[in-house]
Amino acid sequence: MKHLRLPVVLAAGALALTACAGVGKKDAGGGSSDQSSAGSTPTGTLKVMGFGGDDEVAQSRVTAFKTAFPGVTVQNNKGDFDAQQFLTAVSSGNPPDVVYMDRKLVGTYAAKGAIQPLDDCIKNNGIDTTQYREAAMNEVKLKDKTYGIPEFYGVSTNLISVPALKSAGVAVSDIQTADWDKLEQTVKKLYKAKNGRPARIGFDPKMPEFFPLWAMANGAELVKPGGAPNLNDPKAVEALQYTIKLINDQGGWANFKTFRDTFDLFGAKNQFTKDQLAAFPIENWYLNVLLDSRPNGLQLQSTPFTDRQGKPISMLGGSAWVVPKGAKNPNAACQWAKTMTSIATWHKAAEARMQTVAKDKTFFTGLFTGNKVADDEIKAQYLKPTGDAGFDAAIKNCYDVLETAKPLNPSPAGAEIDAAWQSAVAKALAGSATPQAALDQAQADAKAAYDKVSQG
């Protein structure tokens, strides 16, 4: 089975923003004015960037577009979004027509004039934005203009290896994130070492990438409403200190990371079936990956990731389609964004996924998109009890947080803020700075970037 993955956005992407001065000034007019007149049919070549598009969910939607618009030739340079490549293309005046990127980057590129507002595209083509989840739409807006069309919607839950817990005499309910002292005691029971190095990680807090989730669990927002950074909030510092303590209890960062890097995360024989990991939080797309490891002894369970009051929470991740400044075929780009995210097209994707499920004799683990109407209809039509209680629990946990999951607040310096906290967490994990000092420096760097772009 081919697997659905969200795009990987390289941390270096934010650094590339300052390296390409050609898109460093704002474009209040938003580039090309031709974002598809009402009723016009696109033709010509459509250049797509940042879209892997290998699995059945992607290919069925590409086919839907090609069928609807046979006069358009799609050129998809497959691969994850690359900030340097994107900005170089925009600066050179030869950009792609439509780009697939993480929604948290949209504010930064909008502020820099590298992408154009899609308000005319939405109006002229009758795109009903109420079909998309409100949180996803908010991520693609800046100063009352809309710069992207939401696609996938990522939430997370705790996944657990039942055999690992049984071997340590730990209950599934002990994998919880409300009582941090109790979780640390649970981790010590589950952790196994050999010759002073990790042989099984008890609980992987998924650092550095899940730092915003731990900060949220402790009551901190890394980006304030309005977009200013808040990286050295005392609650964020405490969350970083705690997660580093969890890692130090399990061999320390160097040993922990070295061992974790040996995991075959996408293999049929993975960290769970090899008893290398007892539990970790991870995004919903990973459930589909784990189907392949059931024949190899996977026994899964799941608990929700909660805040310290016990309320299930999740960071919201996901992607969007954007149109770069200077795109040669914005008409086709607009129709692409509309078609790839429409209710009818998501149904075709679900049908394709169900065909794969039938062929592989597995089961449906859900389809999580930015289109709420499509999600609800697909869930009602296809999601059934799987016969595997652990998968059922995990799927339920993911659906249960769809309405409450939160992204980092959108910011015109979103990419710079992202790079700042990632650098800080890396320094703190490596021990080259205390969590407080690392986040203080990150806050100063991010604030400078935010002030610069805000003063425009």
- The CA-based angle 143-34-78, given to 5 degrees, is 85
Question: Reduced to 3 states, what is the DSSP secondary structure of residue 302?
Answer: strand
Evaluate whether 44-154+318-353 and 155-316+404-455 have a shared fold.
yes
**Spatial CA neighbour of 343 closest among 170, 91, 131, 95:** 131
Q: For the chain, what are the domain ranges?
A: 44-154+318-353, 155-316+404-455
The pLDDT of residue 124 is 93
The whole-number average pLDDT for the span 9-32 is 39
Model confidence band, residue 6 (pLDDT cutoffs 50, 70, 90): very low
Residue 141's nearest CA partner among 374, 446, 409 is: 409
Strand, helix or coil for residue 44:
strand
Q: What is the pLDDT, as a whole number, of residue 455?
A: 78
Residue 223 pLDDT: 96
Using an 8 Å Cβ cutoff, are 44 and 72 in contact?
Answer: yes
Q: What are 86-114's pLDDT values in tens digits?
A: 999 999 999 999 999 999 999 999 999 99
Residue identified by tokens 């993975």 is: 270
Residue-level pLDDT at 133 = 95
Residue 36 has pLDDT above 60, yes or no: no
Span 207-246, pLDDT tens digits: 999 999 999 999 999 999 999 999 999 999 999 999 999 9
User: How many CB atoms are closer than 10 A to CB 392?
Assistant: 18
pLDDT (tens digit per residue) in 301-339: 999 999 999 999 999 999 999 999 999 999 999 999 999
The yes-or-no verdict on residue 135 having pLDDT over 80 is: yes
DSSP three-state, residue 4 = coil
Query: Sorting pLDDT into bands at 50, 70 and 90, what band is 37?
Result: low
The per-residue b/e assignment along 1-10, b for 16 or more CB within 10 angstroms, e otherwise, is eeebbbbebe
pLDDT of residue 33: 45
C-alpha–C-alpha distance, residues 167 and 28, integer Å: 61
Q: Provide DSSP, 369-428.
A: BSBHHHHHHHHHHH----S-HHHHHHHHHHHHTTTT-BPPPP-TTHHHHHHHHHHHHHHH
Q: For the residues 127-142, what does the mean pLDDT come to?
A: 95
Mean pLDDT estimate for the chain: 91
Q: What percent of the chain has pLDDT over 70?
A: 91
SS3 (DSSP) at 300: strand
Neighbouring C-beta atoms of residue 111, cutoff 10 Å = 24
pLDDT over threshold 60, residue 390 = yes
Whether pTM exceeds 0.85: yes
Of the CATH numbers 3.40.190.10, 3.40.605.10, 1.20.1250.20, 3.40.630.30, which one belongs to the domain with range 155-316+404-455? 3.40.190.10
Which of the four CATH numbers 1.20.1280.50, 3.40.190.10, 3.30.230.70, 3.20.19.10 does domain 44-154+318-353 have? 3.40.190.10
**Residues contacting residue 15 through CB under 8 Å, at least 6 positions apart:** 419
